[in-house]
Amino acid sequence: MAVITFREAIRQAMDEEMARDERVILMGEEVGEYDGAYKVSQGLLDKYGEKRVIDTPITEAGFTGIGIGAAMAGLRPIVEWMTFNFSLLAYDQVVNNAAKMRHMSGGQLSVPIVFRGPNGPAEYLSSQHSQALQSIYAHAPGLIVVAPATPYDAKGLLKSSIRNDNPVLFLEAELMYSWKGEVPEEEYLIPLGKADIKREGKDITFITYSKPLRLVEQAAQQLADMGVDAEIVDLRTIKPLDEEAVYQSVRKTNRCVIVDETWPFASVATHIGWLISKNCFDYLDAPIEVVTSEDVPMPYNHTLELAVQPSVEKILDAAKKVLYI
């Protein structure tokens, strides 16, 4: 099987879907002539031309809205945000227009659009460029939120997202773009809303998604060395949440740590924590632990910025707590 980067996996997904369906277009800042700020769209302008790979001015609210309107009228745009940090300028368009258009029109309209780009902390970028914003998108009904952690998942999930008739927020991460993984040559799709068990185990459940998966895998390895058999549930899609996969695992292991790089207050992690305590209360042998970023803006200083994010050490500490070891 070919080994490719996360970046290439996303590019392949867009390329294949653009070849398959002429209604699919890509628009955003630097996606065309510059080949993408993170080179994700490299070569697509040459292949599909400027009619389908559209360089926009730096106007997030405006081009996000134009993408939404085009989707309502019959195109299937992929809107690339250079990063999710800048999507805050377009938040009104996503939450008030994309998410609600179907509802407000009594089902007359749909908005088949994908908003994608890097989300979450990178390195040395300080507060405005290192934010994990999935919780505010998962908060609004009408949106789908997808957050893959491997090249294989990224490709299959992005293809499904492009084919989906709803607005999909597709979260990538700058630091993940160079991660490598096996991706088959033949076409495949991964359904939205289905978690994946990345490691089977019986002693403790880790629930995570996106970039922190690697930290969780390392922590699980260290736990294995200590004789603890951890299970890892990779959500892959945040909304709709695969609740059954989560509950099945927790009911099996009876202990749970949720690892999420968002801020903790009203977050994806804390919401899942509430769901588990409500639906698996009788199965839990310990209170659920949550490992998130600290409730602070991201500092520039590297030591500090690492200290505010989830780490293998923090995950292990949380695991030991729920395991009472």
Partner 1 sequence: MSLPNYDKTFLMKLLEQMLLIRRFEEKSAQMYGLRKIGGFLHLYIGQEAVAVGSIAALDLKKDYVLTSYRDHGHALACGMHPNAAMAELFGKVTGCSKGKGGSMHFFDVENHMYGGNGIVGAHIPIAAGVALKIKYFDEDGVVLCYFGDGAIHQGVFHETLNMAKIWDLPIIFICENNHYGMGTNYKRVSSVHDYSIMGTSYNIPAWQVNGMDVITVYEETQKAIKMVKEENTPVLLEIQTYRYRGHSMSDPARYRTKEELEKYKSQDPITILRKKMADAGLLTDEEFKELDNKCKEIVNESVRFAEESEEPPLEAIYEDIYA
Which position among 21, 33, 46, 92 is part of the footprint of partner 1 (CB under 8 A)?
A: 92
Indicate the residue among 91 and 247 with the shorter CB distance to partner 1. 91
Residue 8 a catalytic site member: no
User: Among the options 129, 174, 231, 305, which is catalytic?
Assistant: 129
Which position among 42, 110, 222, 254 is part of the footprint of partner 1 (CB under 8 A)?
A: 110
**Of 40-48, 108-116, 172-180, 281-289, which segment contacts partner 1 by CB under 8 A?**
108-116
Nearest approach, Cβ of 72 to partner 1 (angstroms)?
Answer: 6
Nearest approach, Cβ of 69 to partner 1 (angstroms)?
Answer: 2
Q: Which residues contact 114 (CB under 8 A, 6 or more apart)?
A: 77, 78, 79, 158, 161, 162, 167, 168, 170
207 beta partners: 233, 258
Residue 33 as a binder of partner 1 (CB under 8 A): the answer is no
77 beta partners: 25
Q: Is 302 exposed, middle or buried (0-12, 13-18, 19+ CB in 10 A)?
A: exposed
Which position among 1, 2, 104, 226 is part of the footprint of partner 1 (CB under 8 A)?
A: 104
The HSE-up count of residue 86 (CA atoms within 13 Å, CB side) is 18
Phi and psi at 3, nearest 5°, equal -105, 120
Residue 193 as a binder of partner 1 (CB under 8 A): the answer is no
Residue 73 vs residues 94, 166, 325: alpha-carbon distances, Å:
16, 13, 58
Which position among 43, 49, 141, 184 is part of the footprint of partner 1 (CB under 8 A)?
A: 141
User: Among the options 8, 29, 60, 231, which is catalytic?
Assistant: 60
CA distance 249 to 247: 5
Beta carbons of 259 and 212 less than 8 angstroms apart = yes
**Of 58-66, 119-127, 181-189, 304-312, which segment contacts partner 1 by CB under 8 A?**
58-66
Residue 227 as a binder of partner 1 (CB under 8 A): the answer is no
Residue 59 as a binder of partner 1 (CB under 8 A): the answer is yes
Residue 161 as a binder of partner 1 (CB under 8 A): the answer is no
26 beta partners: 53, 78
Which position among 40, 70, 268, 316 is part of the footprint of partner 1 (CB under 8 A)?
A: 70
CA distance 252 to 192: 24
**Of 1-9, 41-49, 99-107, 173-181, which segment contacts partner 1 by CB under 8 A?**
99-107
How, if at all, do strands 53-55 and 180-183 pair? unpaired
Residue 176 as a binder of partner 1 (CB under 8 A): the answer is no
User: Would residue 3 be called left, alpha or beta, if left means φ above 0 and alpha means ψ between -120 and 50 degrees?
Assistant: beta
Q: Which of 14, 125, 153, 23 is nearest to 80 (CA)?
A: 14
**Of 41-49, 98-106, 230-238, 288-296, which segment contacts partner 1 by CB under 8 A?**
98-106
Active site residues: 60, 129
Chain contacts with partner 1 (rule: CB under 8 A): 25, 51, 54, 56-57, 59, 61-75, 92-93, 96-97, 101-112, 141-142, 144, 165-166
